[in-house]
Structure 1
Amino acid sequence: MKTKLKQFRVAAGMTQAKVAAAVGVTQPNYHRWEVGAAPVPEAKLKKLARVLKTNPDALLGRHPPVEVSLYDSSASDDLSYYGEVAIHFCGGGEPLLLSISEGAFARLHRDLQGDAAFVVVQSLANQTVIIRTKAVSDLYFSSEAYDDYGPEHDMYTNHLDVQIPDARDWEIIEGLADDDIGEDFDPADVERVSKMIMITDKQYEKLVSDGLIKAEDLESEREKNRAQTDRIMNVATKVTYQFSTGGKQRSVDVLNPEYLFDAFYEFVDFDGGGSADGMIRWEAEGRHRIIFISKEAVDYVAIPTHKFEEGRIERTAEALEDG
């Protein structure tokens, strides 16, 4: 099963050698645990949890599903549902509609009142969206109290009406998209996530028998669900960007999280990434496929949040080992 040893080690600011020494093993032995080449003995797992200030289940990637809350004062702002933000573009490209948290609302509301060339918003559907401010014609925040999303309520054809804030769930969706789940995840979690993003044949049969879907409409309903599932899987595996002229979109597979982080961290971590001109350089597949994107030519770039954060962990781990 896939562990979270590296994630917690990086958060603690420790090298592999330091963690290994703390639990009484060699660095090569610890490395095998971290990369999943060998199971962690139970006694060592408990020691690791103490050293990394967490619990054994968390190190093994086991935790109750992380869910979005509504009207729960105990939930963090980043897990409290605000509503939607609808973003329209001067060039007439397809608008964006994103479900966002209270935390994302507060940050975007603040940043839009500044003078940054780009603003960043994280949706509750695993999208970190980098938006060129001068490309925006208008933007509507609509809290959950509203029944519509602004002046183009029925026009947001690509809106993902899902709220899945758990990175582990998106790792599972990525595995489902690639047909490569293996033994990395608890089967119960895989089943739970599968039900969240797709409708099974048995569920369709029940919907028909309950009169919620007419038999003659079954195939069209299946097609709509397949399209929604495909969009969700694309969010887990692809970067999408839209040009300001003509509204053309491109989607590119994320094959290396570290390169994704390298290309976009300045936007996410440094208040919009500085200058509005120049090029974004992204090694989508190392030297075999390098993409340059003109900053002045895009409305937005949407990247999978869980892959970006995976890249951050990898780069931070490398920096720790390099000393």
Structure 2
Amino acid sequence: MSLKLKQFRIKAGLTQAKLAKAVGVSQPNYQRWESGAAPIPEDKLKKLTEVLQVGVDTLLGRHAPVHAGFYDESAGEDLNYYGEVSIHFQGGGKPLLLSITDGECSRLYRDLQRNSTFVTVESLANQTAIIRKQAIADLYFSSEAYDDYGPEHRDYEGHVLLQMPDTRDWEIVEALSDGDENVLSEYSTDDVRRVSEAVMITDDQYEVLLAEGRIRPENLEREKNKNQEETRKIFNMATNLKYQLSNGRQRSVLNMGAEEIFEAFYKFFDFDGNIDDDLVILSIEGAHRIAFINKAALDYIIIPTHRLNQGRIEVEGKMLDEIG
């Protein structure tokens, strides 16, 4: 499936039929492009980029990777690294640590002072956190990423030192974690290699590190175990939805579809953090497992950002199709 083509069509507010008409083909013909069943002819690709107002490489998901700027205002507030925000909770659960941009720092600072039940914040590592304000004991903004990140600095178990803001890269991470060659084939080999090297270390790389004396032979297994644990955390950030209850208990949810994720949580983003419903409903593994979560018993929920975005695209796409 040409995921990027579908995403840009929906962002433009176009049904398949309308976009097909705009580029001069039938809807079934266009649908074959979007599903990946047929290649897009060069002349039609050019027309698609004109209608959708994106470059060819961007439309095909082959644009240059998006990188965070580090104390570089030219990167823009939504890509320039601010530092960390650490949140500690009244119920005694594990504190939360997120690497954020200047833009997220400003938004969170503002939203904490508004009359809302929840605040949301997006990290530079694919984490969209929904935080219940009344659960917060204290919150620290640290613009210089101090080593201690405020109190209880040894308790930030899930934090990884990774700033990777491109959701496309996290689609690759998810495919790497699942071993999904079909998804990986949609990306250039250079992008897959670049992301792989950012999240894991291969045996060939260990051989180089040993040869260069950067790892001692007697420390090799310890280094492998440490790095494998870091890779596991990164894979979890791409695939798992996690939440913490006010009693400190944590839950991790696997196998939840992107559309189901969006349906469960869109009100937190589209209703300014004021939610009337008492319960969040999670459809896990379709109808096989369903969880109801009391909002008043939550500290936070963390959602993989790229999965949330995919869910929004899927839901908006269905709405467009119904209107069409």
In 2: Cα distance, 1:79 partner to 1:22 partner: 34
Cα drift, residue 284 of structure 1: 2.3
Moved over 4 A (4+): none
Q: How has the CA–CA distance of structure 1 residues 309 and 3 changed in structure 2, closer, same or farther, with 3 Å as cutoff?
A: closer
- Identify which range, 65-74 or 44-53, moves more after superposition: 65-74
Q: Secondary structure at the match of 2:39?
A: coil
**1:205-239: CA deviations, max 9, x gaps?**
23233333222111111111111101111111110
Q: Secondary structure at the match of 1:286?
A: coil
In 1: Cα distance, 2:81 partner to 2:140 partner: 16
Aligned with 2:192 (options 167, 190, 195): 190
Determine the structure 1 residue equivalent to 2:95: 95
Determine the structure 2 residue equivalent to 1:170: 170
Cα drift, residue 53 of structure 1: 0.9
Determine the structure 1 residue equivalent to 2:253: 252
* Contact 1:127-1:302 within 8 A present in 2 as well: yes
Determine the structure 2 residue equivalent to 1:68: 68
Q: Secondary structure at the match of 1:77?
A: coil
Indicate whether 1:140 and 2:144 are aligned: no
**1:78-117: CA deviations, max 9, x gaps?**
1110000111111111111110011111111111112211
**1:38-95: CA deviations, max 9, x gaps?**
1111111111111111111111111101000023332221111000011111111111
Q: Secondary structure at the match of 1:64?
A: coil
Cα drift, residue 130 of structure 1: 0.5
Indicate whether 1:287 and 2:287 are aligned: yes
Structure 2 unaligned regions, length at least 5: none
Q: Secondary structure at the match of 1:199?
A: coil
Q: Percent of pairs identical after alignment?
A: 57
**1:286-316: CA deviations, max 9, x gaps?**
3232221111111111001001000101111
- Identify which range, 115-124 or 279-288, moves more after superposition: 279-288
Determine the structure 1 residue equivalent to 2:267: 266
Aligned with 1:231 (options 230, 233, 241): 233
Q: Secondary structure at the match of 2:131?
A: strand
Give the TM-score taking structure 1 as reference length. 0.95
Structure 1 unaligned regions, length at least 5: none
**Number of residue pairs aligned between Structure 1 and Structure 2:** 321
Alignment of structure 1 residues 1-323 onto 2, 5 Å: 2-144=2-144, 146-182=146-182, 183-245=185-247, 247-275=248-276, 278-323=278-323
In 1: Cα distance, 2:26 partner to 2:287 partner: 35
Cα drift, residue 3 of structure 1: 4.2
Q: Secondary structure at the match of 2:25?
A: coil
**1:242-289: CA deviations, max 9, x gaps?**
1111x12111114311111000011122211424x7110122233232
In 1: Cα distance, 2:2 partner to 2:99 partner: 29
Q: How has the CA–CA distance of structure 1 residues 111 and 254 changed in structure 2, closer, same or farther, with 3 Å as cutoff?
A: farther
* Contact 1:7-1:313 within 8 A present in 2 as well: yes
* Contact 1:243-1:297 within 8 A present in 2 as well: yes
* Contact 1:132-1:299 within 8 A present in 2 as well: yes
- Identify which range, 147-156 or 261-270, moves more after superposition: 147-156
The residue type equivalent to 2:267 in the other structure is E
The residue type equivalent to 1:48 in the other structure is L
The residue type equivalent to 2:209 in the other structure is L
Q: Secondary structure at the match of 2:319?
A: helix
**1:185-207: CA deviations, max 9, x gaps?**
11111110000001122222232
* Contact 1:2-1:185 within 8 A present in 2 as well: no
The residue type equivalent to 1:206 in the other structure is V
* Contact 1:172-1:181 within 8 A present in 2 as well: no
